[in-house]
Structure 1
Amino acid sequence: MKPERDAFGQALMHYLGGRDTQYAIERDDGYLDILETGKYFTGYDEWPAHEREAMKHVWGRVLDVGCGAGRHALYLQGLGHDVLGTDVSPLAVEVCRKRELERAEAVPLERISPELGTFDTVLMMGNNFGLFGSPGKALALLRRLGRVTSAKAVIVASSNDVYRTSQPRAPPVPGEEPGEGEDERPD
C-alpha cells in the first residue's frame, strides 16, 4: 500500500508527530462515526474494562493482528511476551517501530503464514475480528490462523454485536454463494 493511500496510517503518523487527528468509519448500512486517533496511543489504565479483562487471557507468544499503533502489543511486550504486531498499514507498522515495538510487520490477514512463527495467542482487538468480512471468508482465515498457532492457542478478540445494526449480515461477496458458511441467526 502506498503511503498516500494509507489514510489510517497517515492519521497515526500525524498523531505521533503531535497533531490531533480524527478518522471516519462508514459502514454499508449508512452508519458514520468520527473517532479520535489518540485512542490508539492510550495506556492500559485508559483502556475500556473489556480490553483490560481480555489481557488476562493472553499467554505465550502473541500475534497481534491489526495492531494499529501497537498499544496492546507494547503493553504485552512490557509484560515479557514475545509479540509480533501485524497490520495491513505499512505506516501503522512504522508507528509501532517508532514506539519501540520490537517486532512489527506489514502483513494483511490473508497473508499470515507459518514463516511468521508459531503463536499461543492471536490478539484481534478493536473490532479486528470483523476483518473477516463474511462468514465464508471467516472460516478460511480461521484455518489460516490455525496453521500459525500452537495446539492450545487462544484467540482474544473484541467486536461489535452485529445483531444491533440494521445490516446484521455482510453483503454478498462476489463469487461466494448466498448463505455459504453462514449459521442460523441465534434466538
Structure 2
Amino acid sequence: MDLFGEALKDYQKGRYTEDLITFTSLEQEDILPLPHLFRSYENMPFLEQQALKLCRGKVLDVGCGAGSHSLYLQERGFSVTALDVSEGAVQVCRLRGVKNVVHGSIQEYSGTKFDTILLLMNGIGVAEKIQSLGSFLEHLKTLLQPGGQILTDSTDILYVFEEEDGSFRIPAMEDYYGELIFTVEYKGQKSKPFPWFYIDFTLLKDIAENQGFKCELICSGDHFDYLACLTINTY
C-alpha cells in the first residue's frame, strides 16, 4: 500500500479531509499535516531553506515527496531530478510541474552524476539502519560529480530518553537510540512497519569520514536538529 502517495494525491486533487499519522517504536504518535508537504519556500523550516540556498549545479532530490524542494529549485533555473519510491508522490510531482521525476529507490538508482544530492526531512534515514549507512554513502559517492556535495538534515533524539534527574535511560537492546520502526496510518489503513533512523552529528561525521567524506556542520536548529554537508575528501 502506498498510503503516503494516496494522501498526497488526495490533497493535490482537492480531496483533503485528514492528515497522515505516524507511529514509532518509541510508542509515539504524531500527525503529519498534508499541507506541510506542499509548503512554499517561505513556510519551510530554516534548515531546509539553508540547504536550498547551498544547492549548486545539477541536483538530485532524494525522497522528493510532493516536490516542494524540487519546484523551488527548478523555478530558479536548476536542473533537478526528483526521486521517490512512492508512485503516488511521483504522480503528484508531475502534476505540480516538476519536469524530471523518477520512480524508484536511491539504493537502486545509478547512471547519472550530480553536483548536489539533497536528503532533506531526515532523508538520510532512507539507509534504514546505522549499520548500512557506510555502504549507503559509498553508493552516493558513485552519483556525485567531482567536487559534489550531499546536504542532509537530521535530529539527535537523545533528549527523548532524558530522565528528570538529567540522566538518560536507553533500552539496552537497542543498537543505537536513533533507530526506530515506523508505521503510517491514513484513512483507517496502516502501512507495514519499516525501519528509519535519526542520527546525531558526531556519529554521522565519524561514519562519513570512515567512508572518505569530509563532514561539515552547516547550522543547528532549535530542537536538536542540524544541517550537514558531506563532500568527498581529496586529501
What TM-score do the two structures reach when normalised by structure 1?
0.84
Query: Secondary structure, in 3 states, of the residue corresponding to 1:158?
Result: strand
Paired residue for 2:179? 170
AA in 2 matched with 1:57: L
Alignment of 1:27-176 (within 5 A): 27-113=24-110, 115=111, 117-166=112-161, 168-170=177-179
AA in 2 matched with 1:136: Q
Q: Which has the larger radius of gyration?
A: 2
Higher helix share: 1
Higher strand share: 2
Unaligned residue ranges in structure 2 (runs of 5+): 162-169, 171-176, 181-202, 207-235
Cα deviation for residue 77 of structure 1 reads: 0.6
Unaligned residue ranges in structure 1 (runs of 5+): 172-182
CA RMSD of aligned residues (A): 2.0
Q: 2:85 & 2:93 partners in 1: Cα distance?
A: 13
Query: Secondary structure, in 3 states, of the residue corresponding to 1:13?
Result: helix
Paired residue for 1:174? none
Alignment of 1:11-22 (within 5 A): 11-20=7-16, 21-22=18-19
Cα deviation for residue 109 of structure 1 reads: 2.1
Confirm or deny: 8 A CA contact 1:61 1:83 kept in the other structure.
Answer: yes
**In the alignment, which of 19, 23, 28 is matched to residue 20 of structure 2?**
23
Confirm or deny: 8 A CA contact 1:112 1:145 kept in the other structure.
Answer: no
Q: 1:86 & 1:55 partners in 2: Cα distance?
A: 16
Confirm or deny: 8 A CA contact 2:156 2:178 kept in the other structure.
Answer: no
Confirm or deny: 8 A CA contact 1:86 1:108 kept in the other structure.
Answer: yes
Query: Secondary structure, in 3 states, of the residue corresponding to 1:138?
Result: helix
Query: Secondary structure, in 3 states, of the residue corresponding to 2:150?
Result: strand
Confirm or deny: 8 A CA contact 1:120 1:154 kept in the other structure.
Answer: yes
Deviations 1:104-141 (A, max 9, x none): 1111122121x2x1101000111112222212211111
**In the alignment, which of 8, 26, 43 is matched to residue 4 of structure 2?**
8
Query: Secondary structure, in 3 states, of the residue corresponding to 2:179?
Result: coil
Query: Secondary structure, in 3 states, of the residue corresponding to 1:24?
Result: strand
Query: Secondary structure, in 3 states, of the residue corresponding to 1:159?
Result: strand
Q: 1:164 & 1:112 partners in 2: Cα distance?
A: 35
Deviations 1:68-99 (A, max 9, x none): 00000010011111100001101100100111
